[in-house]
């Protein structure tokens, strides 16, 4: 199926690895022009070299810095002539309980999560409003719906972003901008291979992953793959999803227990 993304321009934050990189690759495969940013210049350069596309634009940018975000959005629009989609993917998880979390942890987590959506939104909004198929996808997590006490600051921040996304869908609909969320579960990225190595369990990675999946209650019995999340993101960006806004899709192997 042609998703209608050929020659469309999409900006993806945090696109140098993991889900962000998989999303950039999937968009390029659909014929889109893609701009992606991250804080690590070396990782961005390596990702760009692996992808090897003349439809890819990269830049160093911290989503917490509104001026850097504005500059990168302007660079994207000047280079590609417009903007049709935005994927707010930059972020990280903070593995701390309530007693371990400091006031600074709470401030940092809330700043990163909300600035990571609001700074790109404010910079991109007038350009998206000029598109005939504008779409924003906020990459979130099932933690937003079913909190995890071991990730208490991240869970709270992600719940706020899910609420914000719903509000944005209503606020931006008159401008023709759709806003949706993709809520992921445990995805097999570099952090899990590092944790497997650090665990020293003696199990193969596959067996260790299966044990982890059982412990976390993942119905499909394994971690997800970055490209599986990217598929949902790209589908929501597509003009074929033109009547979908204000919703969230769980890509979590069945770990999600919320019915909302």
51 and 136 in one domain?
A: yes
84 and 149 in one domain?
A: yes
260 lies in some domain: no
87 and 25 in one domain?
A: yes
259 lies in some domain: no
State the total domains in the chain. Answer: 2
Average pLDDT over residues 32-39: 97
Tell me the helices (H) and strands (E) count for the chain, helix number first: 8, 7
Average pLDDT over residues 207-220: 90
Q: What confidence tens digit (pLDDT) does each residue in 177-198 have?
A: 999 999 999 998 777 888 888 8
Write the CATH number for 41. 3.40.50.720
Residue carrying structure tokens 């993101």: 233
Q: What gap in Å lies between CA 47 and CA 132, rounded to an integer?
A: 30
147 and 197 in one domain?
A: no
The pTM assigned to this predicted structure is 0.94
159 and 215 in one domain?
A: no
Average pLDDT over residues 135-142: 96
pLDDT over threshold 90, residue 99: no
Give pLDDT, residue 101: 74
Give pLDDT, residue 108: 87
Domain with 215 in it: 187-222
203 and 133 in one domain?
A: no
151 and 44 in one domain?
A: yes
In terms of Cβ atoms closer than 10 Å to its own Cβ (0-12, 13-18, 19+), residue 240 is middle
256 lies in some domain: no
Cβ contact 10:89 at 8 Å: no
Q: What confidence tens digit (pLDDT) does each residue in 57-94 have?
A: 999 999 999 999 999 999 999 999 999 999 999 777 77
211 lies in some domain: yes
Instruction: Tell me the pLDDT band of 201, cut-offs 50, 70 and 90.
Output: confident
127 and 76 in one domain?
A: yes
């Amino acid at each position: 199926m042609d998703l209608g993304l050929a020659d469309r321009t999409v900006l993806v934050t945090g696109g140098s690895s993991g889900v962000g990189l998989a999303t950039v690759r999937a968009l390029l495969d659909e014929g889109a022009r893609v701009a992606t940013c991250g804080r690590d210049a070396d990782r961005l350069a390596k990702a760009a070299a692996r992808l090897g596309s003349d439809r890819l634009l990269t830049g160093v940018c911290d989503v917490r810095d509104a001026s850097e975000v504005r500059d990168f959005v302007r660079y994207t629009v000047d280079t590609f002539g417009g903007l049709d989609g935005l994927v707010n993917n930059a972020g990280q998880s903070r593995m701390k309980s309530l007693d371990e979390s400091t006031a600074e942890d709470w401030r940092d987590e809330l700043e990163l999560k909300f600035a990571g959506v609001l700074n790109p939104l404010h910079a991109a909004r007038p350009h998206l409003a000029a598109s005939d198929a504008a779409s924003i996808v906020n990459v979130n997590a099932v933690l937003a719906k079913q909190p995890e006490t071991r990730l208490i600051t991240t869970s709270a921040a992600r719940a706020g972003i899910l609420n914000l996304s719903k509000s944005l869908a209503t606020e931006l609909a008159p401008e023709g901008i759709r806003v949706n969320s993709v809520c992921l579960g445990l995805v097999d990225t570099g952090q899990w291979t590092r944790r497997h190595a650090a665990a020293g369990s003696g199990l193969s990675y596959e067996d260790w992953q299966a044990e982890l999946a059982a412990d976390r209650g993942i119905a499909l019995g394994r971690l997800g793959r970055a490209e599986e999340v990217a598929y949902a993101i790209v589908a929501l960006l597509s003009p074929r999803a033109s009547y979908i806004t204000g919703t969230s899709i769980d890509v979590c192997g069945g770990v999600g227990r919320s019915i909302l």
